[in-house]
Structure formats: C-alpha cells, structure tokens
Amino acid sequence: MQITIKQHERLLIREHKLQEDEHARILNESAINLRAAGKLYVAMLAGIDELRGNVILRFSSKRPFPRRNEHITAIVAAREHNDPSRWQHTTYRTIQAKAQRFCELVAVWYRFEENDRLVIGFRGATANFLADLPPGTALILGPQEPPTAYLENLISLLQDAHLYPRFQDTVSIDVSGKTWNPEPLTNDSTTSLLLSAQLALHRDIIIQGPPGTGKSFLIANLCADFLRQGKKVLVTALTNTALMELAEKDGLTDFLQLGSVYKTSLSTDESKRLPKLREGADYAHLPGTLLLCSYYKLSEKTRLATGAQFDLVIVEEASQAFLATIGAARHLGEQCVIVGDQMQLQPIRATTDGDIEHPSLKKAFNGLSTLADSELTTSKFILQQTFRLPPYSTYLTNAFYGGRLQSVQPQLKPLHYPPAFPVPEKSVHLIELLMAAGVKAPQNAIAQVTQLTGELHRLNLKATIAVLSFYVVTVKELQQRIYADLGYSERVTVETIDRIQGLTVDVCILLIPNNGLNFSLNPNRFNVATSRARHRTIIVLPNDLDVDELEPRVKKYLTEAKQEY
C-alpha cells in the first residue's frame, strides 16, 4: 500500500487540530484552577548561576512546583497579573495575551532553603529573555505550547511536495513491505570511514543503534570525517539534550575550538557549557562547518530551500521523527544518514489509532520504522555491541533485537547493596509486591522504592540512580517522597519513561503499578525503561501480573527474568 500525499496531509492536519484544541482548553482554563492543579506556578527571579548559566527562580515549597526535567513556558506577566490573589475571572489565555516576554525553560536542579522556600535552576533561558530583567521580577510558569509550528511546516511541505523531490519520494513510499534485514556493524574508530565509503555508493544509510551502542560517538566521528573534507554538515534531533551531548564528543573537539560548530536557539546555559559553540543564526554555509538544529528548525529550513543545502544531513533520535521529518532531512542533504532505534520511543502524538482513517497510515507517524522496512533505502546497518549493558541485561534485552546484541561492557567496580536486599549475580532483579488494581501510585511500592533508593544512595557515594515509572502522578509522588528523604541530589533522577531516552545510570529502579498494563508494558516503552543501567535494573511489579497476557517480547523478557527467582 502507498500512502498518498493527500492522506498524509490530512493526517498531520488532524494532528495539528487535536494539539491546538487541547492547548486551547488549557488556555481557557481558570488560572486559579491551573495553579491549584499544579499546572501553573508563580516564582521570583533570584538571579543567574554564573557558572552554569542557569536562571535561578525561587518558589514556595508549600505549593506545587515544577518537577525535574519538566518543560515549561516562563512568562514575565503584566503587572496586573503578578498577584495570584487577583486572578479571579482570569484565564491562562489572558495572562499570555498581556505578557511582556516568554521563554521555554527546563527544571534541572533544586535547593531547599529555610522558611519553606525552594530554589530551582532552569536551563534554556535566552539572552533576550534575561536582558535587563532584575532580580525580584515575578514570573509565571505554565504549560508549553505544542509544536504546532513544526507541524505547519510539514503540512506546507506536503502541500507543495512536487517542489521537493526527495521529500516527495519519502512521504509517498510503499508501506506494505517489511525488508528490515540490516548488516551487523561494529562501532570503533574506523566505522565512520566504512560509512563514508558506503555513502559513495548510496545517498542514504539507515543505522539502528540499540541501547548503549555508541550512536553519538559514531555520529561525531562521521561528522568529523566530512568536516575534514571541507563539507557542510547538518545534524538534527528532537531534543537539545541530544544535540549538546553530540557537540561535547571528543571527535568534534578540534572543530569546536576552531569555531566551526553552530547550534540553533543557543541558550545562555549552553553557551556557558560550551563557550566555543556558535549561535546558529550566524551560520553562513561555509565549507567545513557543522550546524546542529532541532526537527522544528529542520522543517523550517527545508520549507525555504529549493534544493540540497548540505553535503550531509544526519537525523539523530530518528525513532521520534515523523516520516515527513525524515523526508525533509533527505531533501536538505545531498546525502543522508538516519540513526535511531525502532525499539525505542515512537513520536508523541495526540492522534489515537482510532482517529486514523486507515491502519496503514500509522506508519506516517513512525518514520524510522517505516523507512527501514521499505526498499527506498537499501544500505541498512545495526550496531551490535552495547558498551552500557552487562551480559545478563543484554541477554534479556535481546528479546527486542532478535539476538543480535552483544555486551562488550568493560569491567566495572561493584556497587554496595543493603544487607536485607538479595543480591543475585544477575544484573536484572525483580521485586514482586501486592498492588491494588487501578492504583497509579501504590503507597507500599512507593515506600519500598523510596527506602531502596535512599539506601543505595548512601552506600554508593558516586553512583547514579534512576527511578522510573510510566505515569506523571506516580513520578510526582516518588519525587516528593525521595526528595524529602534525600534532599535534592544530582545523582538521582526520578522521571517518567517518556523523558529519559538516552539516559545512562548505574542503577535503574522501574516501578510498574497495577494499572493500564497494556500502556505501561508497551514493548518500546518497556525496552527504554529496562536498558538504562550499567550495573543493575530493579523492576518492582505486581505479584499477580499475568505475563501470558503481555506482548510476546515483553513476555519473553519477564519470563526469563522470573526464572532466576
């Protein structure tokens, strides 16, 4: 079956409308109600962290405050809206309409103070937002706007698809086949040269990179090879986090020092972190330069480009790219390398499967999987060595990779575990608890996870720990309990699965409540959650979980793990 351009266009128009409608509902909500629900926050500017470039805001710890890694819109409101006690009959839309300036921020660190005060550091602030903003300025923080401008660019490309041949080829491919049979690829210092040779034969390459296989290392080396030849390279990713991690790789150090690496929407904290990284607005398409940009900026550049603008375009985090996003990348580059993992998180969308006019149209959302299964690109590889996962974790994770993955993890210094905690030789451990059905925040499980996190934190002074779950309400409860026990620790991440792709820690604790298990145990989401840890993955799950009812790959993973206990 072939997806028509019109079907594709209707699909994204519907997605755009659903996102706009949901945001309109929030905008029209009472500001008082949003604040009471923990969706709107009031803060005071405390200053700037000169070392890290973070903007520092002060909150009352007696009221809800942003959770770590929460993406929010910061607003310098009109004076009439600075006092929440005067918000009667005021909607979030009214506050935004009269606001003086906006900025997208992400909460990254916390410090509790006396008198029920809390200081939070945020990344993402721009110089324009902070300009002439004095300490003591009142700020309102609320939900981010959805990526409607990104969707509008993709819809515009679809409407004029005949002007963008490589884009048109991508979005109208035959989606009925399944030809994913990649060649195994070893990731070392010579791999990028092998891929460069492949690109002399094929305009496009797809690389599947399972957890911990060194995707960013490989991308950095491939960029360096092209930059040394005086080529123009663009790397695009969904998140700024992925772009910054790439910019910090050793393979790009020399080019960074030369001022050859640019990034769009460079924030103050990113400039502090990498002083030699240049603002993408100054990019002039000079030979031997690299531009890092988001999917949104990619779609914007493609819409304005009549032909290829770069010698090489690399799509990072490609599992979260729409098919149209990959089409935009193919149009913008003479050659294109698409790097991701079909078994990681898929694009977030408002459109449900029931909203789609034909089941095959789902493939327009899952760009990497769709392109990988097509015959449009014939040069396909899988990175087969994981440097992160220990052997037993790799063995279980191979349920999602058909046995292709091999552990080459170096020998690690052992961690210390609580005396009461059973420590088998295996790197995946299950804790089965009685959990009431339908409860997203089971208190007995949260108490045990909190205790275990605290003990691991105190016994291992350098170890990093992730505590993960699937629902925001579960995570908020975990954050409250764990931070009350430990205070804020940069070594402990408590987060939902959808926000941690790419994370590597020493120990990962996954809490699976007895609620909505088809959602929680979706194979992609489960695979992301269970492939973060270098040392040990601890899964806390209901003791009456019927694994026979689960998706086959998840069933295989848990069945094998259960046999150890």
Residue range 405-562 forms a domain whose CATH class is alpha beta
Spatial CB neighbours of 292, under 8 Å, sequence gap ≥ 6: 234, 235, 236, 237, 243, 246, 247, 261, 262, 263, 264, 280
Distance from C-alpha of 205 to C-alpha of 373, rounded to nearest angstrom? 13
Confidence band for 508, pLDDT divided at 50, 70 and 90? very high
On whether the CB atoms of residues 372 and 184 are closer than 8 A, the answer is no
Name the pTM for this structure: 0.94
CA 399, distance to chain mean position in Å, is: 23
DSSP per residue over 55-116, as a string? Answer: EEEEEETTS--PPTT-EEEEEE--GGGS-GGG-TT-BHHHHHHT-SEEEEEEEEEEEEETTT
Parse the chain into domains and list their residue ranges. 18-142, 187-344+362-383, 405-562
At residue 552, the 3 state secondary structure works out as: helix
Confidence band for 69, pLDDT divided at 50, 70 and 90? confident
Give per-residue pLDDT as tens, 307-324.
999 999 999 999 999 999
On whether the CB atoms of residues 184 and 350 are closer than 8 A, the answer is no
Which of 3.40.50.10420, 3.40.50.300, 3.90.550.10, 3.30.420.40 is the CATH number of 187-344+362-383? 3.40.50.300
DSSP per residue over 350-387, as a string? Answer: S--GGGSSSGGGGGGT-HHHHHHTSSS---EEEE-EES
SS3 labels along 274-296: CCCCEEHHHCCCCCCCEEEEEHH
Decide if pLDDT at 347 tops 80.
Answer: yes
Angle between helices 148-159 and 323-332 (to 10 degrees): 70
Task: Name which of 163, 186, 195, 405 is nearest 314 in CA terms.
Answer: 195
Phi and psi at residue 314, to the nearest 5°: -115, 130
CA atoms within 13 A on the CB side of 96: 20
Decide if pLDDT at 422 tops 70.
Answer: no
Give per-residue pLDDT as tens, 116-141.
889 999 999 998 899 889 999 999 99
Phi and psi at residue 467, to the nearest 5°: -115, 115
Same fold, 187-344+362-383 and 405-562: yes
Phi and psi at residue 418, to the nearest 5°: -60, 145
Distance from C-alpha of 19 to C-alpha of 146, rounded to nearest angstrom? 6
The structure tokens listed for 504 are 């590597």
- Could you report how far apart the first and last alpha carbons of the chain are, in Å? 47
Q: What is the mean pLDDT of residues 464-472?
A: 95
At residue 464, the 3 state secondary structure works out as: coil
Give per-residue pLDDT as tens, 364-398.
999 999 999 988 888 999 999 999 999 999 999 99
Distance from C-alpha of 421 to C-alpha of 419, rounded to nearest angstrom? 5
CATH 2.60.40 fits 18-142, yes or no: no
Alpha helices in 258-345 (DSSP H): 268-273, 295-303, 323-332
| Predicted local distance difference test score (pLDDT) of residue 466 | 97
CA 186, distance to chain mean position in Å, is: 25
Distance from C-alpha of 218 to C-alpha of 225, rounded to nearest angstrom? 11
Q: What is the mean pLDDT of residues 87-95?
A: 94
Spatial CB neighbours of 559, under 8 Å, sequence gap ≥ 6: 547
Using CB atoms within 10 Å of the CB of residue 123, give its burial: 0 to 12 exposed, 13 to 18 middle, 19+ buried. buried
| Predicted local distance difference test score (pLDDT) of residue 175 | 81
Q: What is the mean pLDDT of residues 482-490?
A: 86
